[in-house]
Every structure is written in C-alpha cells, then in structure tokens.
Amino acid sequence: MATQEQCQVLDHKQVGPRYFKLTLKSHYISTNGEPGQFVNVRVDNGTEPLLRRPISLHRINKEHQTFELLYEVVGEGTTLLTKATIGSKVDVLGPLGSGFKLDPAKKIAILVGGGMGIAPLAALAEKLKTLGGRAVYALAGARDKSCLVCEDELASLANQSVVATDDGSQGRKGYVSDLLIDLLNNTVTQIHYPETAIYACGPKGMLKAVAEIAGQKKIACQLSLEEKMACGIGACLGCSVMTINGYKTVCKDGPVFDAKEISW
Ligand SMILES: Cc1cc2nc3c(=O)[nH]c(=O)nc-3n(C[C@H](O)[C@H](O)[C@H](O)COP(=O)(O)OP(=O)(O)OC[C@H]3O[C@@H](n4cnc5c(N)ncnc54)[C@H](O)[C@@H]3O)c2cc1C
Ligand code: FES
C-alpha cells in the first residue's frame, strides 16, 4: 500500500558526473518499502512537469526511518530534482510496485546491474546481507568508467564483486552479461545452479541477455524492467509489457518479473 508524503530532504549530493544521491525521511516508506520497489517523485512543487518520475529505492534504513534514491540526470525532471535542498520537502508517492522475491532455498544470489540498474540492487544486497546464510555476488557493468556509479557501495555489501565496462576503462572489457558467463563457468567458484537466483536490473538488451543465460542454465532469474510511466499505479496501462500471461503493467505487476514470464 502506497502513501503520498512530503518527505524531508536529509541529504542530497552529487556522486558522479551526472549522478545524485538523495536521502529522504519517511517512517512509512522505510518501514514498508522492499528492494525492487520504487517511488514516484514530484520533482518540483509547481504544476510543471505534471508527471511524477519513477525512481527505485536504492537504500532503505528502517532504523533511521530514511531511504535513499540514486538517480541520473537525463532530462527536465531529473534536472529539476537536483535543486531539492537539504531541509526542504519532496512530494513522494510510494512504495510502489512489486519488488524482488527471496526464496530461502536459494543460497547463492547473483546481482547483475547495468548502468543505473545498480540502484535497486544495493537495497537488495543489503537485505540479503542482513538475512545472512547466502553468498552474494555483485556484477556491475557500464559503458565506460564515468558511467560506473556506486559500484563500491554494492561491492561492500556483497561477498564478491566484479566490474565490466564496454570499453575496458575499468574492470573487465565487455558486457556485464560476460561477467555472468565467467562466474557461472568458473570451475573454482563452482556455482551450484539449483541453489542460485539471479537478480538483474538494467537496459533491456542486457536483461534479455541475462534471461537467455539463466534460461540455458536453468537458473531462477528475476528482472527489474523499466518502461516510461505516467500514473505509476496501474491505472493508465501506459507501461504495459507483453508476458506469457498477457499484458502486465511494469508499475503495478512489476517492475520485478520472473525472467521466464517476459515475452521479448
Ligand atoms: C521502475 C523504475 C525505476 C527507476 N529507477 C531509477 C533509478 O533508481 N535511478 C534513475 O536514475 N532512474 C531510474 N528510472 C528511470 C527514471 O524514471 C527516468 O530516468 C526519469 O523518469 C527521467 O525523467 P526526466 O524528466 O529527467 O527525463 P525526460 O526524458 O525528460 O522524461 C520525460 C518523460 O519520460 C519519462 N521517462 C523518461 N525516461 C524514463 C525511463 N527510463 N523510465 C521511466 N520513465 C521515463 C519521464 O518520467 C517523463 O514522464 C526508473 C524508471 C522506472 C520505470
Ligand atoms: S504508468 Fe500507468 S499503468 Fe503503469
């Protein structure tokens, strides 16, 4: 159940060339929010832009009753959001959507983040760490070094982490899906597939590649999808995607789906 709330800005800082981290206070969202869910943010207190912007819960701190958003400045809305000052209030609707589902039988978690897809995976890694009893591998990829954001944070929450960039400017040269193949084929690590779950977030092409790898190896896999959104609550059907069970909305039925469900 989502709430609309004026959340106080506790911190707001630039963490990369186009990347910002916003810390907001909310007892309700920090208590009820789960990794993989998102909030719909009104980026300005005026009437423009009309539509809220969907942003994933990046970190959830139940103890301090705060949550963090990690976002990239790409257009009008995210540019306006950078102007939110510490102490001011931001109008937030959330938590929204259906997040990652954790199966206690899966003792190995592989987190695969492409670009800003890393954002919701930090909250997931933190939850997995808190629950304990699992080995967590974090794989992060980006176009180049300048597009890698908060990968250190993700690494600090995982047992093992690796980075790839398309141009080789940091970590392995190649795609994050190549890191996944490396890990699954690693004879030293010897990942036991039936005990493994893959959780991925990133661009569509990357998610498709990850779904194919998981399908070939018969590994459980959940994907966090991204679609342009208007209402964010399942009312306008603007974010519908085709699944094997018919059209589903990314904002309400997702954003996290079982990889086997998606019709590419
Ligand atoms: C479930 C979900 C979670 C997301 N989490 C994050 C996150 O954690 N960090 C982050 O940086 N970005 C995230 N995004 C993408 C983010 O919503 C867009 O980058 C943002 O809405 C762009 O707004 P803008 O006004 O700056 O850009 P513009 O391109 O000017 O936006 C114009 C319109 O298109 C919509 N739009 C544009 N790109 C996207 C997109 N990729 N997804 C959805 N709507 C879009 C905007 O909401 C707006 O209505 C997420 C998207 C979804 C759907
Ligand atoms: S954005 Fe309206 S149904 Fe998803």
Closest to 251 (Cα-Cα) out of 259, 263, 241, 239: 239
Residue to mutate, 21, 41, 55, ligand 1, most ligand atoms under 8 Å from C-beta: 55
Report the atom number in ligand 2 closest to the C-alpha of 251.
4
d(C-alpha 251, C-alpha 128), whole Å: 24
Report residue 190's pLDDT band, with 50, 70 and 90 as the boundaries.
confident
How confident is the model at residue 50, as a pLDDT? 80
pLDDT in tens, 25-37: 999 999 999 999 9
Question: 76 CB less than 6 Å from ligand 1?
Answer: yes
Question: 231 CB less than 6 Å from ligand 1?
Answer: no
DSSP assignment of 5-46 equals: EEEEEEEEEEEETTEEEEEEE-HHHHHH--TT-EEEEE--SS
d(C-alpha 227, C-alpha 233), whole Å: 13
d(C-alpha 77, C-alpha 62), whole Å: 28
Residue to mutate, 37, 247, 251, ligand 2, most ligand atoms under 8 Å from C-beta: 251
Report residue 115's pLDDT band, with 50, 70 and 90 as the boundaries.
very high
pTM as predicted = 0.96
Report residue 46's pLDDT band, with 50, 70 and 90 as the boundaries.
confident
Report residue 1's pLDDT band, with 50, 70 and 90 as the boundaries.
confident
Which ligand is in closest contact with the Cα of 228? 1
